[in-house]
Homo-oligomer: A and B are copies of this chain.
């Protein structure tokens, strides 16, 4: 029993995630990202959720993405200075950017590997976030 009947055939999204109230706009952004594994840009999210929310604004998409990132519901991914991309995979992982096709693939670490074990960090370092980016091609 849902509180409204609008979301049949769509992924149910709770009213709140990690303390963030999931407004209609945030739901659409999040739902789209969950079903999309191509790491879309803010603009791509905007184009797509306009289908469900024709009056949504690009600023709102940026606001939603920022809120989702800050509440650790999605991750922001940057390649050089290209437009930021967004990723619903919260597991620790890197990104491989295939230069031939332009596609982006998540890269997992081999089991048992702890990133901080292999890095020569200064003592007393508190790591909040790690980003690994690879560029190349699938031969």
Contacts and interface: CB of A to CB of B under 8 A. Distances in A.
Interface residues on A, range: 35 or more
A43 to B, nearest CB: 14
A1 interface: no
**Main SS at interface, chain A:** strand
A85 to B, nearest CB: 11
A137 interface: yes
A108 to B, nearest CB: 4
Given A80-B76, A127-B135, A110 B99 contact: no
Interface of A: 76, 78, 80-81, 84, 94, 96, 99, 105, 107-110, 113, 117-122, 124-139
- What 7 A-B pairs come out closest when comparing CB atoms? A127-B136, A131-B133, A128-B136, A108-B120, A129-B135, A124-B139, A113-B118
